Amino acid sequence: MTTTVLITGAAGNMGRMLRPLLRRSDRTLRLFDIAGITDLDPTEEYIQGSVTDRAAVARAVEGVDAIVHLGGLSTEDSWENILAVNVDGTQAIFDAAVTHGVTRVVYASSNHAVGFWTHDESDGMLAGDVAPRPDGFYGWSKAAGEALARLYHDRFGIDVVNLRIGSSFDRPPNYRGLASWMSPADTARLIEASLSDSAKGFHIVWGISANTRAWWSGAEGETIGYVPQDNSEIFADEFLRDHEWTFDDPILQRAGGAFCDHPLGQRM
């Protein structure tokens, strides 16, 4: 039996990275993005549109079995833009899921939903479902998305996994990434776990690899079957040539790193 999984924001960095890793002979990936996508695999289909266009969202959601909601602004931006895309757009996805009977949503949240939590407050490992402490309008929008997810789970029984993603790239983007990195392969493993029967219910989990320097707990991820395999330590020598690894550094001390100091509403 073939299942259909909708990926919103499929033309973005994470969407492009995940597409080849999530392809299965018994799975159709429906790709949704405002940007054009032309390099379709035979197991993929594409619908162009924005999460701010509810008619387009409805077309994208109709007939799918699950939604991986990556779409939205991925850094700090104006209050108006953040509300329109990240909050109203996320509500449109959940509303369409209810209308079309979709029972599973994987929501791409962010470490910036809890960016003001510190290493010193974590007792060594910050829980995946710790209370929100956003570090900007972007982080607030991700916390708001988690709250929307909770509402739609409690009201309508939608199974939701909220992924508090660290730094999901081919390699850590900077020395902070030695703690926050999630490799492409581990990102795919986390998505697969989030789509599995083990992930029924409501969950908030960290999206990171098995990093030696991590201080964000993997316990919540383990409950849905996420077992990361990669470790950022292979990049440590490169990044620590110019930086000392110390939690006296506010970039490392705070979950949100430099976002905690970035001006509110100023596009990055």
Catalytic-role residue among 46, 107, 138, 175: 138
129: number of Cβ within 10 Å: 16
DSSP codes of every residue in the chain? --EEEEEETTTSHHHHHHHHHH-BTTEEEEEEESS------TTEEEEE--TT-HHHHHHHHTT-SEEEE--S--S---HHHHIIIIIIHHHHHHHHHHHTT--EEEEEEEGGGGTT-BGGGTTTSB-TTPPP--SSHHHHHHHHHHHHHHHHHHHH--EEEEEEE-EESSS-SSTTHHHHEE-HHHHHHHHHHHTSGGG-SEEEEEE----TT--B--HHHHHTT------GGGGHHHHTTS----TTSHHHHBTTGGGGGSPTT---
- Cβ contacts of residue 214 below 8 Å, gap of 6+? 179, 180, 208
- For residue 107, the cross-strand partners are 69, 162
Asked if 175 is an active-site residue, the reply is: no
Neighbour-count burial of 55, counting CB atoms closer than 10 A to its CB (0-12 exposed, 13-18 middle, 19+ buried): exposed
Catalytic residues: 138
